[in-house]
Structure 1
Amino acid sequence: MDLSKPKPSKRLDLQGIRALAIIVVLGFHFYPEYCPNGYLGVDQFFVLSGFLMCMLLKRAENQPACSLVTIFYSKRFKRILPLYLLVTLVSMICLYYYFPETAIESNQSSAEHALLFVSNRPKTDQEDYFLMLNTGIDIFTHTWSLSVEIQFYFLVPFIFLLASKLPRKIQYGYYILMGLFSIIFSFTSSEIVSFNSVFARIWQFLIGMLVYLLGVPITQHPGEAEYQVLKEEEGKKDIEDLKLLLEDANDELEDDEEEVENVISNESAGVSLRVSGMFSYILLCSLLVITAFPFAIPADVVRPAVTIGTGLLMLTSEDNWILCNNILTYIGDISFSLYLIHWPIYAYWKLTCEGNEYLLITALLTSIALAIITFETFEKWYLKLSSTSVGILVVVLFFVNIVTIHKDDIYDHIRTIGRNYSNLDDVTENMTVDDAIYLNHRWGVNDNKNLYAPSCDYESIKTPFGWCRHTVSVTD
């Protein structure tokens, strides 16, 4: 290894793992018949996120509790919110202009859930994520994972602060015990709750945190525990004193002993690195086989295997040349943009292109191209801004999103000022052609809402509202 070469600002192998995760997710969304297990890439994202969260929290470990929480939230929200809000806004604008009118109403509601990071809460008890992927009507279906992650953000600083009060060895047991509770909750809950609930996903984030903590004593990357740095600095004086004592010793004997020690140390380190390297390649191949396997594997079996396997890979993959290659690391860099952008484009293809395979490839390539453009322009730009500037940008984007989502309601309210509507459907005797065109548009947009019967208790999701169980008798 060339010691003169500056170390990268982040672990390239982790970017490589991130790249492989987004690739299988794209495979699952665009070609689910060929990559039915690709949804596991999101599970890998959760492990990677846990690692990053622990790194940020460790860096601020010596800060007061309030400062630690503030620093953590400011860094995480600065990274996520501007791009997330921009893509949400652009998606809503495209929805109004390019998507079928029948898709507008449901997506206005989904956009509200996405803005509040509660997309992982099903609208009905029977709502199924994989069914929503198949229909492709909801352009914010993919935001469920961001909702899970943001919800964990509100828990993790306090989980970490409690752990920091415990002795080092007990901390591992604390995280493992909490992870076990999460696993038990996941396996004893319904399939929908197990998939969507943040409490059923905590164990995956915690594995990423444990990976970081286990790697602290040997890592050479930014974010290593401050106690290591202090320990090294405190040891400098002892080393200098030792050198003074050895100056009068026999130089030849000292050189011989040092050479022997270096040989033994280098041989031991070389063996350890070779074993670790081989293990990382075996793990990498195993995870690729599972996530890209062309036949569906039961989630209860494969999810723990992929989650734990990803954690072990992160422990051993630092010098993995496959994961550190330039192509994969760049895909890892654009993975956040690509994840946010690809699904609305796929949903548009699903709703309008009648299954055209050539247009599907075009949709995939368009997603990649837009992700690159977004990363190289907007993403790199706002990450250089101050926290105050990013805060202002976030507030502006959030407000514009709210107005865009409710633009029809706002226009309706303005339009009715000074008019007297006696009919429930807003039809009047002195309507103009423009009024009729507008009402026809609104009826198309609000088709589901107009079909809703207040006296029904709807059961099933096979239709927009399902079977109606009347709560009022016909004679009432």
Structure 2
Amino acid sequence: MSKIEKRADLQGIRGIAIISVVGFHFFPDYVPNGYLGVDQFFVLSGFLMSMLLQNSSDQPVLSQVIQFYSKRFKRIVPLYFLLIGGSMISLYCKFPEVSWKTNKEAGKRAMIFMSNRRRTAEEDYFQMLSLAIDIFTHTWSLSVEVQFYLILPLIYLLGRLFSKNLQYGYYFLIALVTCLAASILVSIAIHETFEKWYSKQGLGTVTLVTLALVMVNLVLLNKDEIMDKLKGAKDYGSPDKMTLEKAARLNHLWNLNDYGSLFVPACDYESRNSPFGWCRHKNLSGSLRIMIIGNSWAANHGTMFHQECGRFVTIGDDSGPTGDLIYEIMRRQMKKLIKNVGRKMYILDAMPRPNIEVIERIVPMIGRGIGRGDIDNLLVNHTLYRTARRRYAQLVNDCGKKCVLVDYNPVFWNSTTRNFRFYDEQGLSYFTTTTHLTPRGIEHVRHVWRDICDSLEK
């Protein structure tokens, strides 16, 4: 079987595709359509695979199919699963816990080459790129390739139109020189050690290595569930029986499940796959209508509001020299809304934010005997919120009797340390690392809204 020489024209097209994709990822404002370079790769791969199959058309059909899949398998699968495993390890070591759940779900799809399935609202590809949430976003293209490999031989057997010598190459999208150097070094290291070794092995050995990598990846993807089963940690007991170990575990789980906790079970969402946007509560029989408007904190409080009552922007920023434009926007919005309010409009006042990098350190610091006042000083971020409180106070004053300010400051204030306290005596955090209230935090403020709801019934 003769070897097909590389064609300079196709290599040129491949170079243009690489440049366009790199430009899209690193300079999207200047190369907004650079992602089309991936389509060029798909076309090139299909063309080159056709040449590969056509060149081997003199072999028996069964031999062609086995050779085709074994080459694709050895070339792609072991390295692919090694990449997933390495990505999961880096996720647990370097990424914030709030991103774990999203990436674990993405990793499961990547494991079965289904990263290219239709994205839900919170999984949109371009959104994931801009927010850098999903480290497996780019596996969608390889999923397309693998799915094509599954059907290609069948198509070929029907028409015998395909060829040999697949010129399938993957590329590294690196902008900074340091990242490029690191990528080359890692590539060389893996090639000289792992890839060279398994490429010389028989299909049986490669299969065993792949199965071992699959098992390692499955363990990494389900690490938290496995840890819970090994520790029997589904029931963490009542707060009065809470230990520091259980508190640390609960704080960890609340961070992992923060996004899922924003969904309100009693909600009928217009956007089916996102807790944001319009929600209509189901099975209501009361006489009052309540509208909740806000950022993700509105969703964070949604379940509690339902139980008790049967523009994330810069409102904390200083005003400019030409007047408080931010307050003017707040006031105009209030006047639009108040026209449709029958009784009261409750406005949640500003409060300090937690320093998110300290939240996971609450329990370890308590365990080391660090004073609660020192922990409070590290945890509470006092910047900006006072300016926002002045604006809210003025807003309620301009609104009149229909507007009521709801203040969380007294709820979180600790008179002993003369500071805010964002965790309980057992070390359970009131906030997740995305600054949403944890289940323990929701319970901590529940009485505020219970009193408000009770007052509405009078």
Normalised TM-score (structure 1) = 0.53
Q: Which residue of 2 aligns with 1:399?
A: 215
Q: Which residue of 1 aligns with 2:73?
A: 77
User: Is contact 2:78–2:210 with CA below 8 Å preserved after alignment?
Assistant: yes
Match of 1:443 among 249, 254, 270: 254
User: Is contact 1:118–1:144 with CA below 8 Å preserved after alignment?
Assistant: yes
Distance 1:56 1:365, change over 3 A: same
Match of 1:466 among 268, 276, 285: 276
What are the residue-to-residue correspondences of 1:333-344 with 2, within 5 Å? 336=170, 338=172
Q: 1:366-421 CA deviation, whole Å, 9 max, x = no partner?
A: 3444344434443344333322221111111111101101011100111117x8x3
Shift of 1:63: 4.2
Q: Which residue of 1 aligns with 2:94?
A: 98
Distance 1:426 1:89, change over 3 A: farther
User: Is contact 2:101–2:256 with CA below 8 Å preserved after alignment?
Assistant: yes
1:444 partner amino acid: N
Match of 1:49 among 33, 45, 48: 45
Q: Which residue of 2 aligns with 1:251?
A: none
Structure with more helix by fraction: 1
Q: What is the distance in 1 between the residues matched to 2:19 and 2:277? A: 39
What are the residue-to-residue correspondences of 1:55-204 with 2, within 5 Å? 55-124=51-120, 128-164=124-160
Residues 398-407 or 375-384, more deviating: 375-384
Distance 1:162 1:78, change over 3 A: same
3-state SS in 2 of match to 1:118 = coil
Q: What is the distance in 2 between the residues matched to 1:100 and 1:78? A: 34
3-state SS in 2 of match to 1:447 = coil
Q: What is the distance in 1 between the residues matched to 2:220 and 2:240? A: 31
Q: What is the distance in 2 between the residues matched to 1:52 and 1:366? A: 30
Shift of 1:106: 0.4
Q: State the superposition RMSD in angstroms.
A: 3.3
Q: What is the distance in 2 between the residues matched to 1:20 and 1:80? A: 23
Q: What is the distance in 1 between the residues matched to 2:58 and 2:67? A: 12
Q: What is the distance in 2 between the residues matched to 1:445 and 1:125? A: 19
1:137 partner amino acid: I
Distance 1:139 1:77, change over 3 A: same
1:100 partner amino acid: P
Q: 1:229-260 CA deviation, whole Å, 9 max, x = no partner?
A: xxxxxxxxxxxxxxxxxxxxxxxxxxxxxxxx
Q: 1:189-222 CA deviation, whole Å, 9 max, x = no partner?
A: xxxxxxxxxxxxxxxxxxxx6xx6xxxxxxxxx8
Distance 1:375 1:63, change over 3 A: same
User: Is contact 2:4–2:165 with CA below 8 Å preserved after alignment?
Assistant: no
Q: What is the distance in 2 between the residues matched to 1:162 and 1:97? A: 49
Is structure 2 residue 241 aligned with structure 1 residue 430?
yes
Shift of 1:365: 4.7
Distance 1:403 1:127, change over 3 A: closer
User: Is contact 2:113–2:143 with CA below 8 Å preserved after alignment?
Assistant: yes
Distance 1:338 1:152, change over 3 A: same
Q: What is the distance in 2 between the residues matched to 1:11 and 1:459? A: 53
Q: What is the distance in 2 between the residues matched to 1:465 and 1:363? A: 37
Distance 1:451 1:223, change over 3 A: closer
User: Is contact 1:74–1:387 with CA below 8 Å preserved after alignment?
Assistant: yes
Residues 374-383 or 154-163, more deviating: 374-383
Distance 1:223 1:372, change over 3 A: closer
Could you list the runs of 5+ residues in structure 2 that have no partner in the other structure?
Answer: 286-309, 311-458
Distance 1:454 1:39, change over 3 A: same
User: Is contact 2:85–2:217 with CA below 8 Å preserved after alignment?
Assistant: yes
Distance 1:427 1:365, change over 3 A: farther
Distance 1:452 1:387, change over 3 A: same
Q: What is the distance in 1 between the residues matched to 2:275 and 2:188? A: 40
Could you list the runs of 5+ residues in structure 1 that have no partner in the other structure?
Answer: 1-6, 165-170, 172-208, 213-221, 225-331, 347-359
1:398 partner amino acid: V
Shift of 1:40: 2.3
Distance 1:10 1:448, change over 3 A: farther
Match of 1:408 among 208, 218, 224: 224
Shift of 1:56: 3.4
Q: How many residues align?
A: 284
Is structure 2 residue 268 aligned with structure 1 residue 452?
no
Q: What is the distance in 1 between the residues matched to 2:251 and 2:221? A: 19
Distance 1:439 1:74, change over 3 A: same
Q: Percent identity?
A: 47
Match of 1:11 among 6, 14, 37: 6
1:441 partner amino acid: H
Distance 1:439 1:163, change over 3 A: same
Q: What is the distance in 2 between the residues matched to 1:363 and 1:460? A: 39
Which structure has more RCO (C-alpha within 8 Å, separation ≥ 6)? Answer: 1
Distance 1:465 1:361, change over 3 A: farther
User: Is contact 1:69–1:157 with CA below 8 Å preserved after alignment?
Assistant: yes
3-state SS in 1 of match to 2:279 = strand
3-state SS in 1 of match to 2:172 = helix
